[in-house]
Amino acid sequence: MTIIVHHLENSRSQRVLWMLEELGLPYEVRRYERNKVTMLAPPELKRIHPLGKSPVIEDADAGCIVAETGAIVEYLVEKADGRLGPPQHRADVLRYRFWLHYAEGSLMPPLFAKLVLSRVPLLGKPAQKKLQPMIDVHLDYVESELGQRPWFAGQELTAADVMMSFPLEAARSRGGLDASRPATIAWLDKIHARPAYVRALQAGGPYAYS
């Protein structure tokens, strides 16, 4: 049976499509557009999950609905018999777990805060300037790590890289990530060139951060 992905434009759910393409699992996309004024998800998503957020997947084989990107990614790793999951070496396993959770737990919050502040008149701009040094600490850390290895967990692409894609794409768009951090830019260019990533963009439709 096919996994149904409830996909919101310009959102974290693009990672789920990329993950499914890398794993070669069959899926169907149901697209949703943001409210043009509020930029929030439409109320139709609440029919799928009470939070009304995306991504959400439905797996008819297992009879379940899974929400939250990290939970979905881990679910898909299990469904694909461990592919794109933790590497074999202990140090790489620890890195894998760290980056899998760091993406949303540490890096994304200040980036999201900056987005919110960009929409606040008058006081938003000076507040953004105070927030940028916090973001820079994260971007410098990411740059130092990617300068040591080709992928976040080690020598191979894993689900940790999938999770890190959205915050780093957002950082390139609005968080100050530029050519001054060449290892991170090279990593972004590398994932954007992957055939599975390209197919996921075609399946998901418009995505501002690729």
Tell me how far apart the alpha carbons of residues 192 and 87 are, in angstroms, rounded to a whole number. 22
pLDDT band at 82 (very low <50, low <70, confident <90, very high): very high
Least confident segment among 20-29, 128-137, 157-166? 128-137
pLDDT 10s digits, 57-69: 999 888 999 999 9
The packing angle between helices 69-79 and 13-23, to 10°, is: 10
pLDDT at 205: 87
CB 131 within 8 A of CB 117: yes
Give me the residue label for tokens 């999201």. Answer: 112
CB 19 within 8 A of CB 55: no
The secondary element (H helix, E strand) that includes residue 80 is: none
pLDDT band at 74 (very low <50, low <70, confident <90, very high): very high
pLDDT at 38: 74
Q: Average pLDDT in the 65-82 region?
A: 96
CA distances from 140 to 111, 130, 134, 156, 203 (A): 14, 17, 10, 22, 33
- What residue ranges define each of the domains in the chain, with the CATH number in brackets? 3-84+196-204 (3.40.30.10), 90-193 (1.20.1050.10)
CA distances from 25 to 17, 51, 71, 179 (A): 10, 26, 17, 35
The secondary element (H helix, E strand) that includes residue 149 is: none
pLDDT at 210: 64
pLDDT at 44: 86
DSSP strand pairing (27-32 vs 3-8): parallel
What backbone torsions phi and psi does residue 32 show, to the nearest 5 degrees? -135, 145
Residue 128 has pLDDT above 90, yes or no: no
Return the higher-pLDDT residue of 166 and 128. Answer: 166
